[in-house]
Amino acid sequence: FSSTKGRVMGKHEGNISYARREGGGWKRGKERGVDQNSSRRKNSGRLFEKYDRDPQKIDALLEATLRAILIRNLGRMRIGHLFTLAGGKLGYNITKGGRSTPHNTERAPFPVRKPLDRRGIMSSLPKKGSGGSKNSPQNNEMEIQNSDEKKGAGAEESRDTKEKKEIYTYEAPWLVYGMNWSVREDKRFRLAIGSFVEEYNNKVEILELDEENGKFKCTGSFEHPYPTTKIVWMPDRPGSRPDLLATTGDYLRLWKVEEDRVSMECLLNNNKNSEFCAPLTSFDWNGTDPSIIGTSSIDTTCTIWNVETNQAKTQLIAHDKEVYDIAFAPSPDVFASAGADGSVRMFDLRSLEHSTIIYESPNLVPLLRLSWNKQDPNYLATFLMDQNHVVVLDIRSPAEPVAELKGHHQPINSVAWVSHSSCHLCSGGDDCQALIWDLSPLPKPIVDPILAYNAEAEINSLEWSELQPEWVAITLQRRLQILRL
């Protein structure tokens, strides 16, 4: 629970000063006028400082903190305004590697928008003249059903019936939250799921779908301290690297997956004092450079790790309050974060002297999750705590969203871009709906989703398969479901 990673010198005339450690000393620097209107905390130092020397109280605080972060309602994820962290004002602390190489952060960092690949999801969209409004979720609701449950199905299914099966369900013995598709080409139907139990002992299971019998098979499992806040497979399509799985909770852990067992490869902790641990809210694995992972934490920091050396490359104070999510662009250097201060901020590892605030929510309502469009990296999607609309941002036009997608009736829990499309987005929420949006009409207003799936319970998380873009996975209560579009 230490927030003494940097020293903030103060704010004067719109500039935020900070101290950077180089060669054993502190060096003053500046960050130009970002976030001048945000409220600032007045004090910096350690949270729960009076308990610093009592290990039992430290352990109790850690457990209580993780519970508060992860469990607001057992049926869903709510990382919210549950913490008041005494920490510094916005600043940076480069803990390793010396001075960054400056570059012009105003230049256009991303390629020109690619044309839409009209495979996968496009085959499910309504044809012109087919009747009904193009954007009507009532007319275009997905008709997805399990062929095992079809009326009149016999004991033996034909090959054609199996091929048409559009939903597979796995029932776990506990509430499910964390979930991720494998990206290895030899493991196309492999997923990892994490338990959501209000105890120290939790679990992660590795599942593979047997398409012949239409059932999931658990091929591996391991115990995990506290619920996982996120699970991600290593982005290695050819399978030329070790088969690794990363998880976050109290720490960042890497797990080596083998045919007959799963073992912990390493535990990454950047706190010099091992007694203190600020829980991690999320992380992202860089798809361009798989040696890089970025984590976000309730102590206002983001940490960039090199998983080949198991060392932190950089740790920086990214927000004024807790950081709830981090996402890399299709680049080894550019990432964005969202947090409890209601802002989305963009960073470049080549020039950490500056950051860009690309959005602040009305009344600075916390932003929970962030998704970067990998086909057109000019676009990001996020959503606000306890609100029912998705905010779509264009980094070329900061401050104002390019679209607000209002189709849910209750708070949103997850958002994800379709893996193969530059203009399709999916959102899931407490109203038991997964909605698919088409953003191609922009800048015209987006009124309604083009497709909708009605689940049996609140949707906690969702994710598209990168290898098979016609498949999307969702978690609800104790179930994992994968749906074919």
pLDDT(59) > 60: yes
Of 116 and 378, more confident: 378
- What per-residue confidence (pLDDT) applies to 57? 61
Listed residues 68, 93, 118: the one ending a domain:
93
Residue in 358, 359, 364 with CA at minimum distance from that of residue 341: 364
Predicted structure pTM score: 0.71
Residue 461 β-bridge partners? 475
Residue-level pLDDT at 1? 27
pLDDT band of residue 33 (cuts 50, 70, 90) is very low
Q: Is 62 helix (H, G, I), strand (E, B) or coil?
A: helix
Structural domain contains residue 176: no
Q: Are residues 87 and 110 in the same domain?
A: no
Check residue 144 and give its pLDDT. 39
Residue 315 lies in a domain: no
Rounded distance between C-alpha atoms, residue 377 and residue 358, angstroms: 14
Same domain, 108 and 89: no
pLDDT at 398: 87
Q: How far is the C-alpha of 133 from the C-alpha of 462, rounded, in Å?
A: 26
Pair (31, 73) in one structural domain:
yes
Whether 122 and 157 map to the same domain: the answer is yes
* Domain presence at residue 371: no
Helices (H), 209-364: none
Question: Is the residue at 152 inside a domain?
Answer: yes
Is residue 83's pLDDT more than 50?
A: no
30 within domain boundaries = yes
Q: Residue 173: inside a domain, yes or no?
A: no
Both tokens of 360, joined, read 């602040």
In tens, the pLDDT along 368-378 reads 999 999 999 99
Query: Does residue 422 belong to any structural domain of this protein?
Result: yes
What's residue 459's pLDDT?
97
pLDDT of residue 485: 84
Contact 330, 288 (CB under 8 A): yes
Domain boundary among 52, 69, 93: 93
Residue 200 maps to a domain = no
- Distance CA(407)–CA(387), nearest Å, equals 11
Residue 126 structural domain: 104-165+412-485
Give residue-wise pLDDT tens across range 341-382: 999 999 999 998 889 999 999 999 999 999 999 999 999 999
For the record, the structure tokens of 187 come out as 């493991």
122: three-class secondary structure by DSSP: helix
**Average pLDDT of span 449-473:** 94
Same-domain status, 87 and 14: yes
- What is the C-alpha to C-alpha distance for residues 353 and 366, in angstroms, rounded to an integer? 25
Q: What is the DSSP string of 321-375?
A: S-EEEEEE-SSSSEEEEEETTSEEEEEETT-TT--EEEEE-GGG--EEEEEE-SS
- Number of compact structural domains in the chain: 2
Check whether residue 24 and residue 43 sit in a common domain: yes
Which of 93, 124, 150 represents a domain boundary (last residue)?
93
Residues 148, 75, single domain; the answer is no
Q: Are residues 72 and 138 in the same domain?
A: no
Could you tell me the CA-to-CA distances from 446 to 65, 120, 133 in Å, in that order?
Answer: 39, 21, 13
Q: Higher-confidence residue: 468 or 76?
A: 468
| 253: β partners | 247, 267
Please report which confidence band the pLDDT of residue 211 belongs to, taking 50, 70 and 90 as the band edges: confident
What is the per-residue pLDDT for 66? 57
Question: pLDDT tens digits for 281-306?
Answer: 999 999 999 999 999 999 999 999 99
> What average pLDDT is seen over the chain?
75
What is the pLDDT averaged over residues 390-398?
94
> What is the percent of the chain with per-residue pLDDT over 90, rounded to a whole number?
57
